[in-house]
Structure formats: structure tokens, C-alpha cells
Amino acid sequence: MATSSTTRTIEDEYYARFAGSAALYSRSRQAIAGGISHDSRHLEPFPPYIERAIGARKWDVDGHELIDYAMGHGALILGHAHPEVTHAATSAAQHGTHFGAGHLDEVRWAEQVQRLIPSAELVRFTSSGTEATMMALRLAAIHTDRPRFIRFVGHFHGWHEGAAGGHTPPLEVPAPGLPDSVRSRVELVPAEAGAVEEALKRDPTIGAIIVEPSGGSYGAAPLPVGFLSALRTLADRYAAVLIFDEVVTGFRWSPGGIQALCGITPDLTTLAKILAGGFPGGAVAGRAEIMHHLEFRADTSWNTSRKMYHPGTFNANPMVAAAGSTCLEIVASGEVQKIATSRAELLRSLLRETVSKLDAPCLVYGESSIVHILPGIKTVSEIADVPVATLKGTGAPGVLRMLRLALLQEGVDFFGRSAFVSATHSEEDIRYTAAAFGRAVARVQAEGRWSVQQI
């Protein structure tokens, strides 16, 4: 990996060395609305365009080799193009990608989820995490006959209407384009047991609580101690359905997700990402009594008024089911998670040393195999006491963007402010990343752009 020259500004050098990406982005903007297909891929002046990837590495159109920390937005704990998962998917594809019918791999895949996830009495597949949270909320509403639900400020559950707004700063600004009837379905509250109880007491039409059990954005905004067990108690007391959104944490925090680690079992769990081995897929896994609202019965009134309608052309298609069940087979023992977590721990500790040596205030934190950074933020309080709006932000204005541009020039794609570490990141990759981070920080400081915010 080439290191940077210091003769040009970070941004000028990015333009010069990533010219192929610049050209593709400008072409893309003429064809793709906004030029990108996922908002978190937005980067000024342009994002990198990638040609291929394997293990912990990806290569861009200008030939740079990058250590990747986007890792399929968290789907790739096994790294890119894992040989067994790739083999399973390509062999399945050769036998047909859609049977318009059930098949063995979807059954095996569901059985694996049942074995690993404590709440999974029954499973139903979707094509994404967004669809999974949408399904869980609808199932809860049908089951309880109470359509409103509690969602937490700073927690992300995908982009359907019930999940829009309140997760990314500015947190208080409602998402545009939603009818009042949809907005009023959501009770957006801070992650405090008192606020949850007050809402449940005040409004008997609230039938569900959905939470990222890691805290908002896979632990970027951690939860107060004891919060999950308080939620379990309150959900039971008010007969509400407790939904853990384990789209990111499922199979990552442990083979059974956060719920297996903390021993608190939700009524429904939403899954995606690692579930499908890097392919598009999701699932709801939960209590049979609630999941039964997906089944047909010999009862017209049930089928028309108590059953949830659920189609979805690509749900559990043979290629995704083969990739997903192969991935779950590999992650089931917990070894993969141990390796990824130990690499992330090393990265967290080396990054902390680096920023402290350079006197460059930056929060470095995170759990499991995820590393969060908030460049330019200096705090005197515990992370848990920092306001959610700060923790869900990008740090001091402009610093994160400059850092990412400088890191790309070092051969590291530290994606946004959170890095997903996989089991294929070697100790050497992590040490290289920390050293590259130091050089990138020093360049941002030298350009006078490392502004600092005291919290």
C-alpha cells in the first residue's frame, strides 16, 4: 500500500489519486439519483468506486488496495468472498435462483436460526432488515390489537415509514413525506426506563417496544445499565411485545446475538446482514404465539382479519438461503466472533494510544467487533452521559470527512465513524491501520482542520 505525499492538500491529493472514482461518480450522478444507492455511501467530494474484494481487502477502480472496514455494512464477519459461502451461493445459482416454491435450504436455514437465537420459536424470512422490522411491528400490532409502538431516539431500524426520523441528527426534525397518521403511530422516547413506563401508562394503544439492544447504531449511543431487563419487565407488565432489532448484533455479539449473552429474551427478534452471509436477506424470529399470525388457517375470519399478509418475491431464494445457512454453520461455534472481537479490541486500544500521543481529541469506543470514533470530540464525562445527538453525529464539523479522505490515501477505508472488524482482519492489518490513522490525523492537524468540541 502506497503512503501519501505531503506536498498537496488532503483533498487535492484525493482528487489526483482517485481520478477513476471521481469520473465514475460524475457519470453515476447522471444516471443514479444522488449518484449513490445507500445514503451512508455519500462522501464529499466523491466516494471510492470498488472493483473487487476478498477477505479484509478491496480494490478500487484506480488500483488502490484498501483494508476495508465497511465490510458489507456489517454483513461480512467472515470477510469478503468467503470461499465456502461463495461456493454455496454459486452452486445454488447454477441450479436456479428462484423456484417459486419452498426448498430444503430455506428449511435448514430456519432450523439454524432456531438453534442459535433464543427467541426463535418460529422464523419467517424477508429480503432485508428493513422488511424484518416492518414485519415485526405489524405482527405485534395484529397480536395485541394495539397499533402504536415505542421507538428510541437515535435507534435505527431501516427506512420504512415507521422507522423514519429520529435516528440521525438533527434528531428532533421529523422525516419529510410521512402522513400524520404514520407519524402518530410512533412514540419516540429517550432510552430511559421511566420514559418508557410513562408512555405505556399514558397510552393503552401502545402494543410494542422496538430497541437496538446494543444501543443506537450498534452501540454508538450505548444504553443505560439494566435497561434491557427493565424493558422486559415493562413489556410484561403492560402486555406489550418486546422486539430486539438484532440486524447488526445478531450472530456478531455472539452466535445467539445480544440476547444469548445477556439472558434476556425478547418476544420477537429482527435479523439480517450476517444472517444471509453477505447476500440480501432478513428474518423475524420469535414466539410461536405471535408468529402464528403469518399462518393460513381453515378459518376465513382468521385469514382475513388476524393473519398478516406477507409476500416478497425474493424471500429465502435458493441462492441466499444456501449462502446464509453456510455462513450460520461457520459462525455457530463462536470462534469467528472471538477472533473479530479480539482484533477490534486491539484496534480500539491502538487508536486510543495514537490519538493521545498526537494530542488529537477523539472518542474511541465500541463493543464486540465494532469500533466507533468521534474525531474532534473531547469529553469529561462517561460515554453513556454524552448526549445522544453528539454520539449519533460525526464529531467536530468536517474532521471525519478529512480523516476518511486521508485514510483512503493510506489504503484504509474507515467507513464513516464506525468500523466493522471481521475475522479476516489480521493483527498486521490492525497495526497498519492504527499507524495509518496516526499519519492521517497528523495531516488533518497540519492542515489546521482538527477542530475540537468540548462536551
The residues binding ligand PLP (CB under 6 A) are 73, 128-130, 133, 156-158, 212, 245, 247-248, 272, 282
Measured over the CA atoms of residue 380, residue 386, residue 387 and residue 389, the dihedral's sign is positive
Q: Could you report how far apart the first and last alpha carbons of the chain are, in Å?
A: 36
Q: Residue 73 or 185: which CB sits closer to ligand PLP?
A: 73
162 or 376, CB closer to ligand PLP?
Answer: 162
Q: What is the CA radius of gyration of the chain?
A: 22
C-alpha cell at 325: 445457512
Which C-beta is closer to ligand PLP: that of 13 or that of 131? Answer: 131
Say whether the peptide bond before residue 176 is cis (omega within 30 degrees of 0).
no
413 has which bridge partners?
Answer: 68
State the minimum distance, in angstroms, from the CB of residue 278 to ligand PLP: 12
Spatial CB neighbours of 149, under 8 Å, sequence gap ≥ 6? 137, 140, 141, 162, 185, 186, 187, 206, 207, 208, 209, 210
Q: Which three cell numbers stand for residue 414?
A: 474507515
Nearer to ligand PLP, 129 or 375 (CB): 129
Cβ at position 261, least distance to ligand PLP in Å: 16
Grid cell listed for 308: 398478516
Measured between alpha carbons, how far is 189 from 199 in angstroms, rounded to an integer?
8
CB of 246 to ligand PLP, least distance (A): 8
Tell me the residue number closest to ligand PLP, measured at CB. Answer: 129
Considering the complex, state which of residue 48 and residue 219 has its C-beta at the smaller distance from ligand PLP: 219
State in angstroms the smallest separation of the CB of 434 from ligand PLP: 26
Question: 416 or 438: whose CB is closer to ligand PLP?
Answer: 416
The residue count of the chain comes to: 455
Residue 361 CB, shortest distance to ligand PLP, in Å, is 27
> Nearest 5 degrees, angle CA 70-CA 72-CA 78?
100
**CA–CA separation, 94 vs 319, rounded Å?**
9
Residue with cell 410494542: 208
Burial of 268 (0-12, 13-18, 19+ CB in 10 A): buried
Nearer to ligand PLP, 256 or 282 (CB): 282
DSSP alpha helices (H): ranges in 129-262?
129-144, 180-183, 193-202, 216-219, 227-237, 257-262
CB of 247: closest distance to ligand PLP in angstroms? 4
Q: Shortest distance, CB of residue 59 to ligand PLP, whole angstroms?
A: 24
Quote the least distance from Cβ 40 to ligand PLP, whole Å: 8
Based on CB atoms, which residue is closest to ligand PLP, 130 or 422?
Answer: 130
Nearer to ligand PLP, 255 or 416 (CB): 416
The 8-class DSSP code of residue 303 comes to: H
Smallest distance, ligand PLP to C-beta of residue 357, A: 33
